[in-house]
Structure 1
Amino acid sequence: MRIIVDVEGRAGALPNDETIEVPVLVFLTVFEAIKVSGIGRTTLFEAMRTGALPARKIGTKNLILVADLEAFIKALPVRVPAANGAR
């Protein structure tokens, strides 16, 4: 997802007919990743520990790229319904 930022009318900005694409949320904190994905904290940290979910470190904060979280979720096994209709 991208937001188009119109810089028209700003002093010293781009010419009036140009826009800049600004990415929305490049990375998430662990807390944010838990909230948006629904994955539990322990599971998320285990995935980071094993390398299944790459994380970057800045100071004491772990940062997860949105693209890495998406790739991790897409790589999870797909649930196949039981043949007898059981849940």
Structure 2
Amino acid sequence: MSENTQDEPSMAQHDTTDAARLAGVVDQTRADVGGKDADAVEHVLRERLAQTGIELPDADVHDIAGRLSRGERWTPAQTSS
């Protein structure tokens, strides 16, 4: 083994915080389905949260979906968790 070889898996260069991951999911959901019916937005949001392993209380998911369906912005500070 040389000092210049990578003999083990590399670690992620930039760890993403849960808040940043959540913000990314919300931003992408807003871009894709924002302004649509709240139930449709909530369905997409729940799917994406599950895909990324982010768990939120139902009330927060419902609140975020409502905001996005009304075309409002959302920030991680607006969750109860």
TM-score bucket of the superposed structures, by smaller chain: under 0.3
Task: Report which of the two has the higher share of strand.
Answer: 1
Structure with more contact order per residue of length (Cα contacts < 8 Å, sep ≥ 6): 2
TM-score (norm 1): 0.24
TM-score (norm 2): 0.25
